[in-house]
Amino acid sequence: MAKTRETKHIDTSTEEKIKEAARMVFHKKGYAATRTRDIAEKAGINLALLNYYFRSKAKLFDIIIMETLSAFVQNMAMVLNDPATSLEKKVELIASNYIDFIIKEPEVPTFIISEIRNNPGGLLEKLPVRELVQNSMFVKQHREAVKAGEITEPNPLQFLMNLIGLIIFPFVAKPLLKAVGGIKDTQFNGIMQERKRLIPLWIKAMMKSG
Amino acid sequence: MAKTRETKHIDTSTEEKIKEAARMVFHKKGYAATRTRDIAEKAGINLALLNYYFRSKAKLFDIIIMETLSAFVQNMAMVLNDPATSLEKKVELIASNYIDFIIKEPEVPTFIISEIRNNPGGLLEKLPVRELVQNSMFVKQHREAVKAGEITEPNPLQFLMNLIGLIIFPFVAKPLLKAVGGIKDTQFNGIMQERKRLIPLWIKAMMKSG
DNA sequence: AAAATAATTAATCAAATGATTAAAACATTT
DNA sequence: AAATGTTTTAATCATTTGATTAATTATTTT
């Protein structure tokens, strides 16, 4: 390596600068609409360096999306598998964690959704999503709650769809919601903050009905 | 016109063939990832014809997305503005109509979401989305229901977000849900059919809590 | 400090891609 | 059927874009 990295914590190496720029551009525009030149410019480097470090646009993209996906799933997996928290508490934690997480990186949900569409099998195969959820403490607790009559709908997928949907959908539909509501980013975030409290209440009410 | 259109109902004209092909390819891959050659091939025409009829890729795309958006919004607008139906009935109708609609064209929600991201202001400005919702019978009825204490949460945007989210999100996250649940398209559609019945029940339960 | 290695750049390439052109095929009008 | 107008095609252009190369600069090793 040419430059000694004086600072270990703030990795200012060229490789990291390129990745950071790539992350931003890919997240905002998606793979197809991204130009390697945009990444190079944003990173403040010569275009050739991008290929020097990462070989190709596709390889760089693979790294970015895998990191983004892992971060996104891991967050969820941690909570779903904690044996120390009740089902109710899990819902609160997921709502709160995810809304905070996504407010920091609002383009991530739409990025993931639109890129998975162009690569249905490939991406998800690499992450053990199915095992992770099916063997989770969450599913076990859900089964118990159904048995105890506290939850009517027996399919845990319906439960998860609702929970994740109530959290993520507003971010995905944000431009539309801003247009409909005639609101600005600050107000939108305010509404999402409210939803940290509301979603657990709503979920509880839903699951007893149906 | 070269060919006389023998059939008025099935418009098999070249222009319509190109639009139909464009619709399919754009919906599936989005603007940036679509090649005009793909459209031409799918339509069974020479590439030059695409430009002969539509001038450019961008102009053809504008037509497609406006038609797609209008169809999507109009469906909703009709129901939201019907003075003859109760709030409760409106929820049932929207859930049922939209789920049927999207099962027929499952790529539309993701298409709309990812294209609006690349064109935040422009697209929505052309449709009077805000006026349409804010002056709707639905908002009026919602206000009444809040006043009467039948609905706790006073913001109609929260109500709409939840309703639309519960309907649309599963389609948008379909690849992920299929991976998590280990299910096939048929089973997925089955689950969505169940949701026609469940969503109105859930919404009712939610709106009394919170 | 000389030699060797690594990082960076400017210039260039080759393929992909949106668009145009000029000619051919087809249809309509006179 | 000749003349005119419209639709379609094959060939080609010009630009964009991902990638490479050969030379230059910086860093490390000996």
Q: What is the pLDDT of residues B74-87, one digit of tens each?
A: 988 998 999 999 99
Task: Note the pLDDT tens digit of each residue in B11-65.
Answer: 579 999 999 999 999 999 999 999 999 999 999 999 999 999 999 999 999 999 9
User: Shortest CA–C1' contact from B3: which nucleotide?
Assistant: C27
User: Does position A11 have pLDDT exceeding 70, yes or no?
Assistant: no
8 A C-beta contact, residue A118 and residue A33: no
| Angstrom distance (rounded) from CA A80 to CA B52 | 56
- Report yes or no: A29 at the B interface, CB cutoff 8 Å: yes
pLDDT of residue A121: 64
The answer to whether strand C lies under 7 Å from the CB of residue B37 is yes
C9 C1': nearest CA residue: A46
8 A C-beta contact, residue A179 and residue B124: yes
Contacts of A79 (CB under 8 A, 6+ apart): A85, A90, A93, A94, A97
C chain positions with any atom within 7 Å of a protein CB: 6-11, 16-22, 25-28
User: Does position B207 have pLDDT exceeding 50, yes or no?
Assistant: yes
User: Does position B7 have pLDDT exceeding 90, yes or no?
Assistant: no
Q: Which residues of B touch A99 (CB under 8 A)?
A: none
| Angstrom distance (rounded) from CA A192 to CA A172 | 12
8 A C-beta contact, residue A203 and residue B154: no
User: Does position A108 have pLDDT exceeding 90, yes or no?
Assistant: yes
User: Does position B125 have pLDDT exceeding 50, yes or no?
Assistant: yes
Contact B161 A153 (CB under 8 A): no
The answer to whether strand C lies under 7 Å from the CB of residue A1 is yes
DSSP chain B: --S--S-SSS---HHHHHHHHHHHHHHHHHHHH--HHHHHHHHTS-HHHHHHHHSSHHHHHHHHHHHHHHHHHHHHHHHHH-TTS-HHHHHHHHHHHHHHHHHHSTTHHHHHHHHHHTSHHHHHHTTTHHHHHHTSHHHHHHHHHHHTTS-S---HHHHHHHHHHHHHHHHHTHHHHHHHHT--HHHHHHHHHHHHHHHHHHHHHHHH--
Contact B194 A114 (CB under 8 A): no
Task: Note the pLDDT tens digit of each residue in B144-183.
Answer: 999 999 999 999 999 999 999 999 999 999 999 999 999 9
User: Does position A2 have pLDDT exceeding 80, yes or no?
Assistant: no
A179 C-beta neighbours (distance < 10 Å), count: 21
Which range, of A1-15, A47-61, B11-25, averages the lowest pLDDT? A1-15
Per-window interface: A 170-199 vs B, CB < 8 A:
170, 172-173, 175-177, 179-183, 191, 194-195, 198
Of B205, B83, B103, nearest to B144 (Cα)? B83
